[in-house]
């Protein structure tokens, strides 16, 4: 349960809000690199943190993220034309470079310098891995570039997708740190989905639907451990790192790729669910990559030409009551990603947390909220920069492993929970 004002604080991320300020302290995923495939390609309208922006890749192969609207009379620069040195508004010919600086106002004499006084808001846009990252905070507080392992491994070892989720970012993210739903909602997928099936760990999951949870602090956020019984009195642990503000990595299964998410607010009632798969030591196999493109694992298929899932609220998520009755799916919705998204969207655009009744297995969610609230207030009131900006905080891994009963998972799995280049992840 949150008080109404706490819920407001955590869910509003527009300019000037405490949580918006917090998100603006980090590099966040803005676009897939495939959306700006070549120099001079069509610009892309991007809304992030309730700001309408335009992503461009100039003829000179520079990336930029600028205010979508021309400073003259507010038309969308999406209609703009790439020219040498920038993009030109088609309405009256005002031209802007990749930093948003106006470089030409054809109606004004060049010598009066009018154009130099015009500058659109701009944010850096940097390609790392399959993702174009942006930083929307004060330039003097810009952190080092992101070091997430999924975007630092060679291209053949990683795959990233994104999908529109039509609800507030927080309820989407909370699903990612709520391991207790997996044995229910995704039960049918564990032994069928090509990107999950066959792992020994799945049987531990399916044999024990009542895991025991432990939550411990991590430098960038939390480690959330789910413990189930294994052989000989040992425990099977699935450990999920959550790094502020909205990164999670799902504990691996067998030699499958490792999955995870970022949840990034578009506005207060929509977010991008970013989904990545990578393998630390081998290339993603062609059949695995194909499965990801076909919407298996944590990915989806789309309404053509968009990043909106093909199963969405306008078609009742293509619910199949027969599959539900047969027990193939718990909710009748196919696919892990849409099983999550459909339920999270059903909560409403911003769920009313004053009415929820949490239980002890929700402690990971409770503690993540507490950290977000604390960090947002510390930043807004005292200028304290939050955890998760340090690249070392980002160099974490999830892990699935069997440990003796008296071992502290954070200590016993310390090596497994940090990135070790060239070393396989800990998985069962």
**Which spans of this chain sit near other proteins (rule: CB under 8 A)?**
1-2, 166-167, 210, 212-217, 269, 313-314, 316-317, 342, 345-350, 352, 355, 357-363, 366-367, 369-370, 374, 405-406, 408, 410-411
CB of 415 to other proteins, least distance (A): 15
- 374 versus 424: smaller Cβ distance to other proteins: 374
For 195, what's the count of Cα atoms within 13 Å in the CB-facing half-sphere? 33
CB of 92 to other proteins, least distance (A): 38
DSSP 3-state of 272: strand
Rounded Cα gap, residues 299 and 269, in angstroms? 21
CB atoms within 10 A of CB 313: 13
CB atoms within 10 A of CB 418: 15
Q: Where is 411: in which H helix or E strand?
A: helix 409-412
- 112 versus 408: smaller Cβ distance to other proteins: 408
Helices (H), 267-335: 286-293, 321-326
CB of 284 to other proteins, least distance (A): 33
CB of 328 to other proteins, least distance (A): 20
* Tokens coding 135: 């930083």
Residue 343 main-chain phi, psi, to 5 deg: -70, -40
- 43 versus 387: smaller Cβ distance to other proteins: 387
CB of 87 to other proteins, least distance (A): 35
- 321 versus 355: smaller Cβ distance to other proteins: 355
CB of 366 to other proteins, least distance (A): 4
Query: Bridge-partner residues for 229, per DSSP?
Result: 235
Among 148, 29, 216, residue whose Cα is nearest residue 418: 148
How deeply is 414 buried, as exposed, middle or buried, from its count of CB atoms within 10 A (0-12, 13-18, 19+)? Answer: exposed
CB of 311 to other proteins, least distance (A): 10
Rounded Cα gap, residues 369 and 22, in angstroms? 13
Helices (H) then strands (E): counts for the chain: 12, 19
- 226 versus 258: smaller Cβ distance to other proteins: 226
CB of 295 to other proteins, least distance (A): 19
Rounded Cα gap, residues 395 and 247, in angstroms? 12
DSSP 3-state of 372: helix
CB of 380 to other proteins, least distance (A): 18
- 133 versus 317: smaller Cβ distance to other proteins: 317
CA distances from residue 152 to 75, 127, 182, 391 in whole angstroms, order as listed: 38, 11, 28, 12
- 104 versus 267: smaller Cβ distance to other proteins: 267
Q: Show Cβ contacts of residue 16 under 8 Å, excluding neighbours closer than 6 positions.
A: none
- 159 versus 317: smaller Cβ distance to other proteins: 317
CB of 234 to other proteins, least distance (A): 13
Rounded Cα gap, residues 324 and 333, in angstroms? 8
Among 216, 225, 198, 239, residue whose Cα is nearest residue 416: 239
- 301 versus 363: smaller Cβ distance to other proteins: 363
- 127 versus 410: smaller Cβ distance to other proteins: 410
Q: How far is residue 392 CA from its own chain's centroid?
A: 19
The secondary structure of 86-124 as a DSSP string is EEE-TTT--EE-TTSBEEE-TTS-GGG-GGGG-B--EE-
- 358 versus 423: smaller Cβ distance to other proteins: 358
CB of 210 to other proteins, least distance (A): 8
Length of the chain: 428
């Amino acid at each position: 349960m949150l008080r109404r004002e706490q819920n407001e604080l955590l869910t509003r991320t527009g300019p000037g809000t405490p949580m918006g300020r917090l998100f603006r302290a980090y590099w966040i995923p803005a676009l897939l690199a495939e959306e700006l495939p070549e120099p001079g390609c069509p610009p892309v309208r991007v809304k992030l943190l309730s700001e309408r922006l335009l992503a461009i890749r100039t003829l000179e192969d520079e990336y930029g993220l600028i205010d979508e609207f021309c400073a003259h009379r507010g038309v969308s620069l999406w209609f703009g034309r790439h020219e040498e040195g920038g993009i030109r508004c088609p309405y009256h010919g005002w031209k802007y470079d990749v930093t948003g600086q106006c470089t030409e106002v054809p109606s004004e004499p060049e010598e009066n310098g009018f154009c130099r006084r015009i500058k659109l808001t701009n944010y850096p846009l940097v390609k790392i891995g399959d993702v174009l990252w942006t930083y929307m905070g004060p330039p003097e507080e810009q952190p080092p570039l992101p070091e997430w392992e999924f975007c630092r491994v060679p291209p053949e070892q990683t795959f990233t997708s994104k999908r529109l989720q039509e609800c507030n970012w927080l309820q989407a993210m909370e699903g990612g740190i709520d391991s207790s739903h997996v044995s229910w909602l995704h039960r049918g997928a564990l032994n069928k989905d090509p990107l999950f099936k066959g792992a020994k760990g799945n049987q531990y999951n399916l044999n024990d639907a009542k895991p025991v949870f432990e939550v411990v602090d991590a430098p960038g956020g939390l480690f959330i451990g789910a413990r189930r019984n294994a052989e000989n009195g040992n425990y099977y642990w699935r450990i999920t790192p959550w790094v502020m503000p909205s990164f999670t990595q799902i504990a691996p299964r067998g030699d499958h790729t490792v999955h995870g998410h970022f949840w990034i607010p578009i506005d207060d009632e929509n977010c991008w669910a970013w989904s990545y798969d990578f393998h630390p030591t081998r290339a993603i196999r062609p059949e695995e990559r194909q499965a990801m493109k076909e919407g298996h694992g944590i990915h989806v298929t789309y309404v053509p030409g968009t990043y909106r899932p093909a199963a969405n609220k306008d078609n009742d998520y293509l619910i199949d009551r027969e599959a539900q009755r047969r027990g193939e799916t718990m909710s009748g919705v196919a696919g892990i990603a849409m099983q999550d998204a459909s339920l999270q969207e059903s909560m409403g655009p911003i769920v009313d947390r004053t009415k929820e009744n949490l239980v002890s297995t929700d402690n990971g969610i409770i503690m993540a909220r507490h950290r977000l609230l604390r960090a947002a207030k510390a930043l807004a009131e005292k200028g304290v920069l939050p955890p998760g900006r340090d690249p070392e905080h980002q160099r974490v891994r999830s892990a699935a492993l069997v440990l003796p009963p008296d071992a502290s998972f954070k200590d016993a799995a310390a090596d497994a929970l940090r990135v070790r280049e060239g070393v396989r992840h800990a998985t069962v």
